[in-house]
Every structure is written in structure tokens, then in C-alpha cells.
Amino acid sequence: MGLRTVRKKGIGNRVARLMAVAVILAVVVVAGLISVYDANVAAQQKRAAVEGTAYVFASAVADHVATRDASAIRTVLRSLDRVPGVISATVHGADGKAIATLGQKALLTSDVIVTDPSFFDMMSKGIVPVSVDIIKGGAVQGTLVLTTDISDLRQDFFQTMMAVVAASLLAAAFAMLLLTPLLRKIVDPIQKLTRSVQDLRVSQNYAVTLPRASDDETGILVENFNGLLHDIRDRDQSLQQLAYFDTLTGLPNRAAFQRDLAERLAGLQQDGSQVAAILLDIDGFRALNNAFGLAAGDAILQHVGSILTEQSPPGALVARLGGDEFGILVPDRLDGEAAMATLAHIHATFYQPINVNGMELHLTLSAGATLAPVHAPTVSDALRFMDLAANAARKQGAGRSAFFRQEMDETLRKETELAQRLRSAIDNNELTLHFQPQQQLSSWQIVGFEALVRWNHPTLGTVSPALFIPIAERSGFVAAIGDWVLREACAQARTWLDETGRPYVVAVNVSPAQILQSGFVRRVEAALADARLPGELLCLELTESIFLGRSLGGVRSILDELSQLGVNLALDDFGTGFSSLAYLSQLPFNKLKIDRSFVTASQTSVKRTEILRSIVQMAHSLEMTVVAEGAETQAELQLLHDLGADQVQGFVVSKPVPAPQALALAEHLNSAAA
């Protein structure tokens, strides 16, 4: 509805018109009544005067009426000519018939005997009839009817009426003049309200208050309207809170993050100013949630949210983007220094364990960052690139940060494609196991094999587990692959036992996501039972990443249950993680696998040799068997032997090979050594 229509049909206009009509009506009615009364009085006065004359003439003609002498009567009546206004006279006999008539012919027919004519009769005909009895000797002889012209009165009456109408119009105009300010007082606030409501609909800006001009109903209306605006503002605020804030942490949410990023991008100066968009997520958060429950998970998220807020520079925005993902926007320059400094602070803070519901947890965060607009020109680019960078960081291990680089885009596309194909790998029998022998250094006998999964894709060829296991971990179906490997390896170990009678131990790699899934211990138990394999002939290889984001106690209880099954537990890739002795001594590991990086070229570096020696000693003091991985040369083999390592697994003995080959080699070596 436009403003024009409001005015035309406006309340002010309508009230004004109504008032004008009312005033005109009132003046017309009152003035009409007065003039009718006035004219009536004048007519009656005239009538009374004529009545006097009539009585005089009635007695003058009484004798002639008795004798019915018409000419004598006419003679008498003729002198009525001198009486002003009388225009006709008729004498009726006692029988009512006219005896003599004088005056205007036209009037004669209506010269009936009228005793009391109405005002409207007199006015409409313009004449007043007067009838008086003609009496002689006490008896009524007849009636004299005189008719008087009152057209002058009639003219007066209409003139008065015209004057009244003119006066009433004048009065109405005058009244309007006087009433306008009063009307304004009533109508203005209402019109203002109307306009405000219309403006509100357009601007959606409810942060206004209308001034209250009066204490009357319109004032109350304005006050109530202001109250309504206040309610709308309140509701708006709580809607904003819901739409743009995360209820758990109280931080801005993803929508707010995107909006803020868009605003920051739009407001950037042309001086090379940048916004760093940073994505952070908690390493191993899903497993943490599974192990300790949602309440602990919530407490961790709140804790992380407040640490991020504390560690971010002024002018930064910290948001919870969903799940365990947080986002930070930092004003930056082209060198990305502000983002790097922020991330350094954050990582440093998490070196300290955090206390959640009485538990000490070591958390790490993986982070990805991109600079907008230099690398990411739009909001959606920035969101995608920080995500890609975070993925790249996660691949490097826990607690790492990465900046977006163009190549990451392609990597992700390939990875997604690979994950799709991997899902059907088990069903399509594309997975197989290879086995790598483990040699006892004291006896040179083969005592066991590590089972290593292989994926033979019909078109992609052989895909390395180093590539597809991390993808399976990120896509959440590593447990399915792990389960298949476990059952397959147990069955193989049983076959060897049956075929050779030798207790070859089979080692199976277990991913953190797999071991922390509920029912893992029961599944190991079932795999052993189904294969009829003694627990001692199975070794589970775990890496230090199972401790990421979990309490020591939680992991220990699972490992304790596993070792109660008689299963061996090996700590894989030792030396690449945080390699904490404090952890190791509290956990039931009975094997330590030294990572290949310490073994390769160990003989050329004195320092490395010393590290190896102390790892061996330390492991032995904890009563652990030491397995050295990745020995490729005889020299390395000899050194490991000299350092007192218990077993070796490396290309120098054999590459991972299919089961029959692995067994053939083992049997060959064992019988030679025997």
C-alpha cells in the first residue's frame, strides 16, 4: 500500500468530512426550525389581523345574510378593497352555499370554510383563509371567508432559508478552521504510526522508538507500539543468537564465520591486506567421544573453544564450524605471518595436558590455513582451501599445520575417487595379504611374519597400504578392512601351524580407529577362536597415535583385556611419535618395533648408533622384545645383531611376499639354521 492511498482514505480526511457534514446538518436544522417558527408566527399574526376585520364585516353583512340579499352583501364587502392583503371574500349561507363572492376568481373554488389551516398549507398556497361565523339574534346565519395573500411571507421564508444555508456553509468552514489543529493532534500520531510501520516493513530496522506526544488513547497506542518494537527486537536477537551462534560453546557458528569472512573480504583495503582463514580440528576426536562419552566430548569442545579464543589475536573471529571443527579469521598480510604466529601459540598451548572431568588429556589440533583474497578470492574458495590444507596437515601426522597450495586441490580429488573404489575392494576380492618374515638375530631362525595388506585394483594396479590405509581411516571404514586382515591372518597362521608344526607368530597392524571401536576385543577373541589359534601366535601392532586425544587409562584397559587373551602387543614405528617412556612402562606392550628411519644407514652415523643402542637397552629394561624394522643391508643386520636387538624385519631378509613364498623361505632358513 502506498502513502498516497493512505492519505486519500486517511482517517484525518474522513473525520474532517464527517465533521463538515455534521456542522452543516446541525446549522441547517436549527436555522430551518427557527425560520419555520418565525414564518409561522408572522402568518398567524397576519391571520389574527384579518380575523379582526372578518368579525367586523361579518356583523356588517349579518342582516343581509338573513334576507339573503346578495347585492347588499357585495356592497358591504366591496369596502374590503381598502384592507391590505385581503384578496377574496365569500359569504356562505347557513346551508354552506355561497351567497356572494368578491375578489380573485381563481381562488373562489378553494374558498371553503377552513377553520385552522396548517403552516405548510398556508406556505404552499401563499394564502391564509380565515372563516368567521355570521351571527344575528344569537343564531348563526352563515360564514364569512376571507382570503389573505401571504406571498410576501413566503418570499421572506425562502430568503431566510437561503441565508441560513449560506451561513451554515460559512459556519462549517469556520468550524473546520477551528477543528483542524484539534484533528491534527489526534490524527498526526496515527499517521506517524502508519508511516513508521510502512518504513519498518521496508527497512527491517526495529531499533527505533516513536516519541509519545500525548497521554490520550493515541499516546497509549504509541507506547504499545514501542513495546511491540521492543519485543520484536528481543525476538530478533534470540533468532540471531540461534542462527549465528553455537549453543554448546557460545562461539559464532559456521554461518556467522562465512558472513564475517564475506564482510571482511568486502572491506579490505587495496594495500595488500589479507584475511587468513584457518580451520582447526581435534585429532582423534571421534575415538575420544566413543571412549569417554558425549559429555566428556562436549567438555573438550568447550575447553578447546575457550583456548582458541584466548590464543587468537585482537580482531580475530573464532567460530565453531561444526563437530570438532573450529575456524579462525585473522587480519593478515601477504606473508601470512599473523596466521602462523596464531597457530604457533595454539599448538604450544596444547603441549600441556588439559583437564576434562578430572582426566588429564593430551590433545593435538590439526590446522589448515589459506590467505584471502590472494590465494582464495571468494568465500567458498577460502572455505574449500582451508579444508584442503587441513587435510594435508592431518596426513603429516597429528598436531600439524599446513598452508594451502594449489596442488592440494588435485590430491583431494584423487583421494575421494580412491576412497569410493576402496569401499568395494573387500567384496570384489581385491585385497590380499603379503607376509614379511621376522628373523631372530640370536638363532637366525624365522619366528614370525608381519601381515601386510595389498590392494590389487583391476585398473589402478597395486595400491600401497601407506596410501590407502590413511584414506580408509579418514573415510571411516578402516575397521572393515582391519577385520578382514585379522581373520585372514589368523587363518593363515593356523594353516602354517598345521602344516609345519612350528609356532610362527603372525603380526597384524591395527589402526587407532579400529582398536577403539566398541567390541574390538571380542572380535579378536572370535577371530582366534574361529581359526583355533592360540593367542600367543598373534601379535597386534599399534602405533603411538592411539594415544592421541585419549587418556592413558582408557587405552590401557583395552590393551589389558587384549593381553589377557594371550595376544602379543607390539608398539610399531617407535621413534616417530612422542616415544614417551612414562607411557610405555604403564602399558602391557611386550614388543617394540624400532622404526626404519633409525635403522637405515645406522652404521654410518655414530649418533644414530648410540640412539639405537639406548632404545634397545631401554626396551630390554622394560622386558620388551626389540624388533628392528627396515634393515636392507648385511652391515645393518650385523650392527643390529651387535647392538643386541632381538629380531629383524627388512628387505635384507625378505620383502613382503605371498604366504606360500614366505613360508618356503622360512622353512628353508629354519632347516638350514637347525
Taking CB under 6 A as the binding criterion, the range among 71-79, 161-169, 278-286, 630-638 that sits at the site for ligand C2E is 630-638
Q: Does 573 bind ligand C2E (CB under 6 A)?
A: yes
Q: What is the DSSP string of 573-642?
A: EETSS---HHHHHTS---EEEE-HHHHTTGGG-HHHHHHHHHHHHHHHHTT-EEEEE---SHHHHHHHHH
Q: What is the identity of the amino acid at 76?
A: V
Q: Does 327 bind ligand C2E (CB under 6 A)?
A: no
Q: Which grid cell sits at 77? A: 364587502
Instruction: Tell me which of Mg ion, ligand C2E, none is bound by residue 630, counting a contact when its beta carbon lies within the kind-specific cut-off of 5 to 8 angstroms.
Output: ligand C2E
Candidate list 129, 448, 465, 554; residue touching ligand C2E; CB under 6 A: 465
Contacts of 430 (CB under 8 A, 6+ apart): 424, 455, 456, 457, 458
- CA 4 – CA 434 distance, rounded (Å): 86
Smallest separation (angstroms) from Mg ion to the CB of 247: 43
Q: Does 637 bind ligand C2E (CB under 6 A)?
A: no
Q: Which of 403, 338, 411 is nearest to 375 (CA)?
A: 403
Q: Does 436 bind ligand C2E (CB under 6 A)?
A: yes
Collapsing DSSP states into helix, strand and coil, what is residue 349?
helix
Q: Does 656 bind ligand C2E (CB under 6 A)?
A: yes
CB atoms < 10 A from the CB of 443, how many?
Answer: 11
Which of residues 348 and 601 has its CB atom nearest to ligand C2E in the complex?
A: 601
Smallest separation (angstroms) from ligand C2E to the CB of 624: 17
Q: Does 650 bind ligand C2E (CB under 6 A)?
A: yes
Q: Does 659 bind ligand C2E (CB under 6 A)?
A: no
Candidate list 171, 192, 651, 661; residue touching ligand C2E; CB under 6 A: 651
**Torsion over CA: 163, 166, 170, 173 (sign):** positive
- CA 290 – CA 546 distance, rounded (Å): 13
Q: Does 371 bind ligand C2E (CB under 6 A)?
A: no
Q: Which of 645, 636, 553 is nearest to 593 (CA)?
A: 645
- CA 425 – CA 416 distance, rounded (Å): 15
Instruction: Tell me which of ligand C2E, Mg ion, none is bound by residue 464, counting a contact when its beta carbon lies within the kind-specific cut-off of 5 to 8 angstroms.
Output: ligand C2E
Candidate list 572, 589, 626, 646; residue touching ligand C2E; CB under 6 A: 572
Q: Does 452 bind ligand C2E (CB under 6 A)?
A: yes
Q: Which grid cell sits at 223? A: 507506547
Q: Which of 448, 468, 457 is nearest to 540 (CA)?
A: 448
> For binding to Mg ion (CB under 5 A), which residues are involved?
509, 541, 572-573, 629
Instruction: Tell me which of Mg ion, ligand C2E, none is bound by residue 453, counting a contact when its beta carbon lies within the kind-specific cut-off of 5 to 8 angstroms.
Output: ligand C2E
Taking CB under 6 A as the binding criterion, the range among 115-123, 227-235, 326-334, 461-469 that sits at the site for ligand C2E is 461-469
Smallest separation (angstroms) from ligand C2E to the CB of 586: 23
Smallest separation (angstroms) from Mg ion to the CB of 422: 20
Question: What is the CA 175 to chain-centroid distance, rounded?
Answer: 56
Which of residues 305 and 482 has its CB atom nearest to ligand C2E in the complex?
A: 482
Q: Which residues bind ligand C2E (CB under 6 A)?
A: 436, 452-453, 464-466, 469, 482, 485, 509-511, 541, 572-573, 596, 629-632, 649-651, 656
